[in-house]
Amino acid sequence: MKRSSIQFGKIAAIAAVAWGIVGACIEFYNVAWGTGGAVGEFSPRWFALFVFFVLFCAALYAAAGIALLGLQPSSPILEGLVSFRNKFPALRWAFIVIALVFPAWFLQRTMWGVVFGGMHFRLLLWAVSVFLLSVFITRGGSLIEWKPLIASLILASSVLTAAVSLQGVTEYPFSLGWSEGNRIWDYSMRFGRDRYGIADNQDIYILLDSGRMLVGGLPFLIPNVTIEAVRLWIGLTLILPYFLVGLAAGIAAEKNVRVWMLMTLWVFLFLRQGPIHSPLVLAAALTVFLWRKPLWLAIPLIIYAGYFAQSSRFTWLFAPGLWIGMLELAGASSPDGKPGRSHWGRAISLGLSGAFGGFVLPKLIPLLRIEAATTADMTEQIASTGVTSEFVAYAVTDQPLLWYRLLPNPTYGVGILLGLVIAVLPVAAILVWLSASKKWQLTIWQKLAILGPLLAFLAVGLVASAKIGGGGDLHNMDMFLIGVAFTAFIAWVNGGRQAVMNNQLPGWVRFALAAALVLPAVPPLRQLRSFDYGDEIGALLVLTDKKEFEAKSLEMLPDSVTVGKALTEIQAAVDEYQELGDVLFMDQRQLLTFGYITEQVFIPEYEKKVLMNEALSANYEYYSGFYRDITSQRFSLIVTEPLRTPIKDSAYEFGEENNAWVNWVSIPVLCYYQEAQTYKKVNVMLLIPKPVPDDCSQYIPPRN
C-alpha cells in the first residue's frame, strides 16, 4: 500500500512537471510568435531563442523524470558540476547570489517582467533558480540534499517577497493606487505639518492609527525628503518589522545562527501573507522577545506592548497579553513535560499585565473625554482614552457585514476562508503531526492555552474581514496569523527542532513543509513586474500581442513629458482658482507634501479616505458639513480622482464600496460642480462650480 502510494506520487509529480513545462513553452511561443516574418511569424532571433528554450525544457523534463523515478545513471555533467562546486568556493558563492537574485531582477527590473506574465514561465524560472541554489548550497559529494533544499526554498521565496514589497519605490509624483498618495500625506502629519503651514496643536482628523502614523512618518524627520525615499521606507516597513519578530524569537528559542536566520525569513514569509500592519508586528516582536525573560523586565515591557497595540487599533488591545500567555504556558518545558507552578505564575502575571496595558492603562491616563458620537471623533480619541463598551458596540455595528466575502468573490478571488486555509494549512498539518506523533507533547491546559486565543483571534478576524471596506486580503486575520507563528515557535523549541533537523519527517510532512515555503512565494511571483517602461510601449505591444488601443492594460506609468505637462497645468489651475476661493485637494495630497504643487491656504477637511469611511457608515452627521460646503460652492476648485456614477453590485470588485462612494460623494458633488479638465493618464480630475447648479436636493442622501 505504501509502495503504491509512493509510485502514484512520483507519477503525479512527473505529470505536474510536464504540465508546467508544456505551459511554459506555450507562453514562450506566444511571446516569440508575431515578432517578424523570417520563419512563419518568428524573427530570426526569436526563432532561435524559442528552439533553444524548447530543447532546454526537454532536457529539464528528462532530468526531472530521472530524479523522480530514482534512477541514478552516471552523468559526467552532474559529476563535473559537483566537482566544480566543491573546488571553487568563491565562485560557488557568486553563483548562489546570481541564482537567488536573478528571477526578481529579471521580472521586476526589466521589461521582460511585463512580457513574460504567464505563471508557467515564471514558475519554471523560479524552479530552475531554486534547483541551482540548492546545488550550490549543498556540500560534499551529493548533488542536492534535503536541508539545503529547504534553505533554498526559504531564501528564494524571501527574495521574491522582499522584491515585491519594494515594487512601489519610484519618483512618480502621482498616486500609485486608490489611497497611496493620500496615505503618504497621512504619514507626513506627524512630523511634517510645517509643509502645509499647520500648527502642531491644530486638531485635524486623520483616518490612521497613531502607531502607523509614527512608523510611516519617520522619514519626514529628514528635511526635504523625496517621495521616492518615503516610498522606499514604506516598502521597508513591509520587511523589517517581520524580521524583528523572527530575530526576537530566535533570541528566545534558537542558538544556531544559520537556523535562527532561516527562522527569521520563514516568519517574514508566513506573516507577509496578510500582510499585517507594522505596529502590530512590532508589538508581536516585543512580546516574543519577552518570552522567558525575567519578570522585572517582562512585566513593564508587556504593559507597554499592550498599550502600544491598543493605541494603534482598538481590536488589538488584548493581543500581546494573550500571546505572552500562550508562549509562557504552552511553551513551558520541565522534566515531566508539564507546566509547573512557576510557569502558571508567569503566564498569568504577564497575561494580565498585557491586558492592563491594553485595556486599563489608557483609562488611567486620559487626555480627552469622549463626548461625540461620530466615527471620526470616537476613532480619533480612542488612542488616548481607551476602549469603552459603547465604542466597541458602535464599531461593530456602524458598517454592514458582507459575509459572502468569506467565500470566493470578485473582491478577493479565493475568499477569506479559503485564502486562510491556503496560508495556514501546511503549517497546521505539521503542528498536528508533531503533536500526534508525541514529538511535541502538550497537556490539556497547554492545548487550551493555544486553541483558546487562536479561536478568539479567528472570530475577530473573520468579523473584521466581513465588514464593508475589508475582505480584500488577509490583513484582518493579523492576530490569528501571528498566533499561529507563535505556536510554531512553541512547537520548535519543544520537540519540533529535533524532528526537522534530524530528518525524522515522513514524506507527506516533507511535502507540507515544502508547501509552507512555496505557497507564500506564489502571489509575489505573480505580481513581480516593472511599471517604468512607458517609452517602450511599442515593443511591449508587439511582444504581448496587444493592439494599440490595449496599451492601457499594460499599466505603464506615464512618461515624464505627460507627467510634467499635467503638473504644470494643475499648478496653473490652482494659481488661478485660489484667488476666487478655497481649493480642496480631496485626492493627490502628496503633490502638496513634496512641493510638486504649491497653494496659499491648505484645506485639511474632506480627505478622500475619510469621506469613504463615513460613507460606509452612512454618517449623515459628518456629511451635513460637506454638503453644506458643496451646496454653497465654497470651493473654487476641487482636485480629485475622476468621479463616476455607475452603480455596481457584488459581482464587481468592491461593488458595495463603489456604491457608497457614488451615492454619498460622486453624485452630489457632480450636481454642484462640473469638469474643468481630466488627466486620464495620471488619474486626476479638476472640478469647478457650475454657473447655475441644478436642483440637487434629491441627490443628497437623507438622514436615517
The pLDDT tens digits of the residues spanning 185-195 come to 999 998 988 88
Four-residue CA torsion sign, 236, 241, 247, 253: negative
Contact 327, 293 (CB under 8 A): no
Which grid cell is 541?
Answer: 505591444
Q: What pLDDT is attached to residue 399? A: 77
Q: Which residue has the cell 518615503?
A: 230
Choice between 482 and 555, residue whose per-residue pLDDT is larger: 482
Average pLDDT value for the chain: 86
Mean pLDDT across the stretch 23-51? 87
For residue 166, is pLDDT > 50?
yes
Contact 246, 265 (CB under 8 A): yes
For residue 674, report the phi and psi dihedrals to the nearest 5 degrees: -125, 160
Can you give the length of the chain in residues?
A: 704
Instruction: Report which secondary-structure segment, H or E, holds 98.
Output: helix 89-108
Q: What pLDDT is attached to residue 374? A: 44
Q: What pLDDT is attached to residue 337? A: 60
Query: According to DSSP H, which parts of 340-443 are helical?
Result: 341-355, 361-364, 375-385, 389-397, 415-436
The span from the CA of 372 to the CA of 206, in Å, is 16
Q: Please classify residue 367 by burial: count the beta carbons closer than 10 Å to its beta carbon, then call 0-12 exposed, 13-18 middle and 19+ buried.
A: exposed
* 432-441 tens-digit pLDDT: 999 999 899 8
Mean pLDDT across the stretch 26-41? 84
Which of 457, 449, 446 lies closest to 495, judged by CA? 446
Question: How large a percentage of the chain has pLDDT more than 90?
Answer: 53
The span from the CA of 605 to the CA of 628, in Å, is 13
Question: In whole angstroms, how far apart are CA 351 and each of 328, 355, 360, 388, 458?
Answer: 9, 6, 13, 20, 19
Bin 495: left if φ > 0, else alpha if -120 < ψ < 50, else beta.
Answer: left
* 628-675 tens-digit pLDDT: 999 999 999 999 999 998 888 777 888 899 999 999 999 999 999 999
Contact 464, 315 (CB under 8 A): yes
Q: Which residue has the cell 488589538?
A: 316
Q: What ranges do the domains of the chain cover?
A: 239-365+399-526, 560-699
Least confident of 44-48, 86-90, 324-328: 86-90
* 573-628 tens-digit pLDDT: 999 999 999 999 999 999 999 999 998 889 999 999 999 999 998 888 999 999 99
Mean pLDDT across the stretch 109-117? 90
* Reported confidence tier of residue 524, pLDDT bands at 50, 70, 90: very high
Buried b (16+ CB within 10 A) or exposed e, 147-182: bbbbbbbbbbbbbbbbbbbbbbbeebbbbbebbebb
Which of 696, 650, 649 lies closest to 670, judged by CA? 696
Residue 225, number of CB atoms within 10 A of its CB: 18
Q: What pLDDT is attached to residue 371? A: 43
* Reported confidence tier of residue 387, pLDDT bands at 50, 70, 90: low
Contact 178, 171 (CB under 8 A): no
The span from the CA of 186 to the CA of 33, in Å, is 48
Contact 111, 533 (CB under 8 A): yes
Which grid cell is 501?
Answer: 533537523
642 prior amide bond cis, ω within 30: no
For residue 5, report the phi and psi dihedrals to the nearest 5 degrees: -70, -35
Contacts of 174 by beta carbon, 8 Å cutoff, 6+ apart: 181, 563, 566, 588, 591, 682, 683, 684
